[in-house]
A = this chain, B = another copy of it.
Amino acid sequence: MTPHLTSPQTSVAPVSVGLIGLGAMGMGMATSLRRAGYLVHAYDLRPGVAAEFASQGGVACSSLQELGEACSVVVSVVLNAAQVEAVLHGAGDSAQGSRGVLAAMRPGATFVMCSTVDPARSIAFESQAQARGVHYVDAPISGGAVRAAKGELTIMSSASAQAYEAAGPVLDAMAAKVYRLGDRAGMGSKVKIINQLLAGVHIAAAAEAMALGLREGVDANALYEVITHSAGNSWMFENRMAHVLAGDYTPLSAVDIFVKDLGLVLDTARASKFPLPLSATAHQMFMQASSAGYAHEDDSAVIKIFPGIKLPRGSAD
């Protein structure tokens, strides 16, 4: 899974790839694609953001239509399913109703959907794309902004063989690992949802454990040292409790992301009436943190729902 530096079907002009949504993740992915030799067309709802990206190379598009017409592969990196819907079909309800990207894409082009969404929604998006002759890759991403900028994301994907043939090198240019989990949309999103189930429960469990330690007078740094070398460790405990020890709740990923993502987990399971007791409990904890005023703090701020403890305050203490 080494990145393809150039696309095999051209030795004259670089392949045009579209990147929609230049947030913390999308900007890094666009940069990785440019580094891999692609001509990157970029679009972002916020005026000027695409132009700023293009000042280093690439093309700023002023509309989804312009981007869709220019690119054989379009990568969408937006916040949620509603935004994917607007990217595909346009925000037609508004007075300034814009066309979506799908109507502008050529048959045989490929749309890559990188958001974390209900798997049923991704399956529907694939049908809408295929109805227009556009290939579709269900391709939720994981790894954070730093790894996005390095082209070292993890992509949990599923797609048809034709879609992979068209978009495979583009996926490889953005990721250290591209998991191919099935031959149509849905499996990528399902696995991503299950990863989010574990990530969310583990963050809330880490907070609960650290909170009990503080309540019981255990030294927080010693507790961190022991747990990270014991069977109670998780990737999230090690990563997020470092924020708590530092007293730094600058949002790398915010509380409200897990309000959303654990909500998607529960929606998915509810559709087949499947019980998820820990996910439901963790979701309540993140909603409690959000309502208490910590919605936009780092997700480790879920520890602030625990009463009767004094949190570490880092160097400011």
Contacts and interface: CB of A to CB of B under 8 A. Distances in A.
Q: Is the interface of A mostly helix, strand, loop or mixed?
A: helix
A190 B235 CA distance: 22
B202 A223 contact: no
Contacts of A279: 208
Contacts of A218: 181, 187, 190-191, 194
A250 interface: no
A191 B234 contact: no
Nearest to A210: B194
A47 interface: no
A156 interface: yes
Interface stretch (A68-76, A126-134, A280-288): A280-288
Total identical chains:
2
A278 B226 contact: no
Nearest to A253: B231
Contact of A226 (B195, B226, B239): B195
A235 B233 contact: yes
Given A194-B212, A278-B282, 15 more contacts: A154-B226, A154-B230, A190-B216, A191-B222, A197-B205, A197-B212, A197-B232, A198-B205, A198-B227, A198-B234, A231-B236, A233-B235, A234-B237, A278-B281, A278-B285
10 contacts: A154-B230, A179-B225, A194-B232, A195-B230, A197-B208, A198-B233, A216-B268, A232-B236, A278-B278, A278-B285
